[in-house]
Amino acid sequence: MERTSFDIVVVGGGAAGLRTAIAAAEADPELTIALVSKVYPMRSHTVSAEGGTAAVLRDYDSFELHALDTIKGSDFLADQDAVEFFVARCPEEIIRLEHWGCPWSRDEDGRVSQRAFGGMSVKRTVYAADKVGFHILHTLFQTSMKYDRIHRFDEYFVTSLIVDGGACAGVVAMNLRGGTMVAIQGKATILATGGCGRVYEFTTNGFIKTGDGMALAYRAGVPLKDMEMVQFHPTCLPGTGILITEAARGEGGYLVNKDGERYMQRYLPSKMELGPRDILSRAMIQEMKAGRAFEGPYGLYMGLDLRHLGAKKINERIPMVRELVEKYMGLDPIHELIPVRPGQHYIMGGVSTNGKGETTLPGLYAVGETACVSINGANRLGSNSLSECLVFGAACGLAAAGFAKKKASYPRGAAAREALKKEEARVFDGVLGRERAKETVAGLRVEMQQLMERDVGIFREESALADACGMLGKMRDRFAAVGLADKDRVFNTELTAVLELDFMLDVALAIAHSARNRRESRGAHSRTDFPQRDDANYLKHTLAFRTDGPPRIDYVPVTVTKWQPVERKY
């Protein structure tokens, strides 16, 4: 039984987690920081982000404009004070990353380039060809190696938080390679575990995006905010769900239906392919329903046309798009249409935090896709998410560092020891001891994913949502019967899959119930039975609190500062 004690414990090694750890390390050379991740940090899903990261860097742009674009994009559900804080700090984060070696693409004069992106009025998306997430992640990971005081716990799977005296005192984690449980104590704990896309069947997300941090906070009594706000990205490859970046449209790509028509002129003529993602995804579904889609072995799809961009532009600005399409579709986008269809990509909702990443549980923070501040409201603009990880990672790291410095004593060992014993019993004796019978982890997981895809997708309505809530509740109960064939403790990925399913069921329930209770359409949440936006009743954030039964839903008002909600017209 190991035990370790730190000032700050960061769970998750992606852009948000690494930025937080570095910020804390730079804030105070005395602080000790643990970076706990269930995968090696460079495997975090940040790595797959493609298009870019937004910041106001030039004279033709302004914080006002970036804020307005973001707030309008969010369908006025974003907290405007947080958005103002956010946009003002994006530029310094981009520059800081640049100083740390991030290979931003450059203009002829040597300055950082910016491209157009969906929902952005001007070109403010900084990019690194079309591998922005890869470059940001590796820059942050390699820069984090500068600091000895960041102690990494690679391939440690966090199974629960340690709560002592009404505050978070660290985490209990399973050392995958050693097959043991350890309690990692911290004065401050930061959840940066990303989103939960794998609750859906068709998602751009990697296998590891299972909402772990969200469920951990949820189980400790922290509410999940705006969980119904799920983003479906319009351009995913059919079958695999691999993302084709918005940058393809930012660089001038068209979306066409089977008649070769740029159908967006019927839905959003002012912005066409560069409208916000929720509008584009809905437009695609409507085109499909109207019978104007292509048909393929994986269902209906539309065409993304890059042929008019030319080989030079494609190879320079979006080379990975070409690589992915060639490899996974056997097509060359220089000469052929790319088949695309909408898929789950991001969740605007998450652990409810304030502008510093603080949750309602003292000592517990959340940042990145795991958190909901909220700056993205009901729909996120592309390229705001990476900037969010950087800005709030820095803010949260600083806040947590300040909190840890002020806290004189480390958490009591007794609470950690107790939590550790409990988790060992729950996981090793309990879960691991269950025999694999009729109910299997893969079977139940696929059922949940298909249910979410069908009933809590792009278009929602009451009976499907009610059905989803009921079925998910039953799945929660059926989960108790899921057993395991692999009885080893060392690197048991069947066990981690079961624990992840446990997290996902909690998160899926929060999503479904939040969606059912929001009887309006706003941003990405689209109800066919309540097609209008209803500011009078719903200009507020949904809060979902975990109970033994269905989640308890409550609401909290949206913070409006300068921009009075108006109809979201482009």
Partner 1 sequence: MAASDVVFRVKRYRPESGGRPTFQEYTIPYRNDMVVLDGLNYIKDHIDPTLTFRWSCRMGICGSCGADVNGQPRLTCGTYIRDVHKGAVTVEPLSNFPILKDLVVDFDDFLRKLASVTPYIVRKDWGDLTKEYVQYPEDVEAYRQQSLCINCMLCYAACPVFGSSPEFVGPAASALALRYNRDTRDEGADARLARLNTRTGVWECTFVGECSVVCPKDVDPAAAIQTLKFLATMRHMRRLLMPGSSSR
Partner 2 sequence: MPMTGREYAWKRRPGWWLRNRRYLMFQLREAGGVVCALYGLVLLNMLVQLRAGESAYTAFLDLLRTPPVLYLNVVLFALVVWHALTWFMLIGKAQPIQFTRQPLPWKVVFGINVLLWLGVSGAVVYLIFGGI
62 is a site residue for partner 1 (CB under 8 A) = no
Indicate whether 412 belongs to the interface with partner 1 (CB under 8 A): no
Q: What is the amino acid identity at position 445?
A: R
> Of residues 488, 529, 534, 554, which one binds partner 1 by CB under 8 A?
488
Paired residues of 350 in beta bridges: 225
Quick one: what does residue 92 bind among partner 1, partner 2, none, with the CB cut-off 5 to 8 Å set by partner type? partner 1
In whole angstroms, what is the distance from residue 92 CA to residue 59 CA? 15
d(CA 226, CA 357): 16
For residue 482, the minimal CB distance to partner 2 (Å) is 22
Catalytic residue check, 249: yes
Asked if 485 and 497 touch (Cβ cutoff 8 Å), the reply is no
206 forms part of the interface with partner 2 (CB under 8 A): no
**By CB under 8 A, residue 425 contacts partner 2:** no
The interface region with partner 1, picked from 103-111, 114-122, 470-478, 507-515 by CB under 8 A, is 103-111
Find the shortest distance in angstroms from Cβ 426 to partner 2: 15
Size of residue set near partner 2 by CB under 8 A: 8
Look at residues 570, 211, 216 and name the one whose alpha carbon lies nearest to residue 365: 216
The alpha carbons of the chain give a radius of gyration, in whole angstroms, of: 22
* 527 token code pair: 């109800």
CA 371 to mean position of chain CA atoms: 8
Instruction: Give bridge partners of residue 175 from the DSSP assignment.
Output: 156, 180
Residue for token pair 């269930």: 38
Does the active-site annotation cover 380? no
Question: Which of 2, 60, 64, 111 touches partner 1 by CB under 8 A?
Answer: 111
Out of 19, 66, 152, 249, pick the active-site residue: 249
Q: What type of residue is 271?
A: K
Q: Measured from the CB of residue 177, what is the shortest distance to partner 2 in angstroms? A: 9
User: What's the helix, strand, coil split of the chain in %, to 5?
Assistant: 40, 20, 40
Is 489 a binder of partner 2 (CB under 8 A)? yes
Binding residue for partner 2 (CB under 8 A) from 64, 488, 534, 554? 488
Out of 490, 528, 531, 561, the only residue in the binding site for partner 1 (CB under 8 A) is 490
Stretch that binds partner 2, among 175-183, 219-227, 375-383, 448-456 (CB under 8 A): 175-183
All residues at 6 or more sequence positions from 330 whose CB lies less than 8 Å from its CB, including other chains: none
Partner in contact with 180, chosen from partner 2, partner 1, none, beta carbon below 5 to 8 Å by kind: partner 2
Give SS3 for 433.
coil
- 121 contacts which partner out of partner 1, partner 2, none, CB within 5 to 8 A by kind? none
H/E stretch holding 154: strand 150-154
Give the CA dihedral 267, 273, 275, 280, nearest 10 degrees. Answer: 60
Reduce the DSSP state of residue 398 to 3 states and report it. helix
| Residue of 45, 233, 533, 541 marked catalytic | 233
Binding site partner of 98, from partner 2, partner 1, none, Cβ cut-off 5-8 A by kind: partner 1
Nearer to partner 2, 428 or 459 (CB): 428
When CB distances are held under 5 to 8 angstroms depending on the partner's kind, the choice from partner 1, partner 2, none that residue 142 binds is partner 1
Of 25, 50, 30, residue with least CA distance to 324: 50
Decide which of partner 2, partner 1, none touches 290; Cβ closer than 5 to 8 Å per partner kind.
Answer: none
Q: Least CB distance from residue 251 to partner 1, whole Å?
A: 16
- Provide the mask over 424-453, with x wherever binding to partner 1 is found by CB under 8 A and - wherever it is not: ------------x---xxx-----------
**Quick check: 88 binds partner 1 (CB under 8 A)?**
no
Asked if 529 is part of the footprint of partner 2 (rule: CB under 8 A), the reply reads no
Q: Which H/E stretch holds residue 18?
A: helix 15-27
Using rule CB under 8 A, residue 100 touches partner 1: yes
Q: Which residues, including other chains, have CB under 8 Å from residue 124's CB and lie 6 or more apart? A: 54, 55, 56, 57, 58, 61, 66, 114, 117, 383
As a whole number of angstroms, the longest Cα–Cα distance in the chain is 68
Count of alpha carbons within 13 angstroms of residue 305, beta-carbon side: 12
Q: What CA–CA distance (Å, rounded) separates 296 from 276? A: 26
Q: Which amino acid is at 148?
A: D
Binding flag, residue 240, partner 1 (CB under 8 A):
yes
Interface residue with partner 1 among 2, 310, 328, 362 (CB under 8 A) is: 328
Q: What's the 3-state SS for 67-86? A: HHHHHHHCCCCCCHHHHHHH
Phi and psi at residue 36, to the nearest 5°: -105, 120
Select the binding partner of residue 181 from partner 2, partner 1, none (C-beta < 5 to 8 A, by kind): partner 2
Crossing angle of the two packed helices 493-517 and 462-478, in degrees rounded to 10: 150
Residue 439 binding target from partner 1, partner 2, none, CB below 5 to 8 Å by type: none
Q: Which is nearer to partner 2, 177 or 552 (CB)?
A: 177
104 binds partner 1 (CB under 8 A): yes
Residues 6+ apart with CB under 8 A from 429: none
Between the CA of residue 223 and those of 434, 505, 507, 544, what are the distances in Å?
A: 30, 16, 11, 5
143 binds partner 1 (CB under 8 A): yes
Pick the closer one to partner 2 by CB: 1 or 480.
1
Q: Which of 315, 493, 537, 561 binds partner 1 (CB under 8 A)?
A: 493
List of residues contacting partner 2 (CB under 8 A): 1, 178-181, 488-490
Q: Which residues bind partner 1 (CB under 8 A)?
A: 39-40, 42-45, 47-48, 91-92, 94-96, 98-101, 103-112, 131, 134-135, 138, 142-143, 145-146, 154, 177, 179, 206-208, 239-240, 242-243, 320, 324, 327-328, 436, 440-442, 484-486, 488-494
Q: Which active-site residues does the annotation give?
A: 233, 249
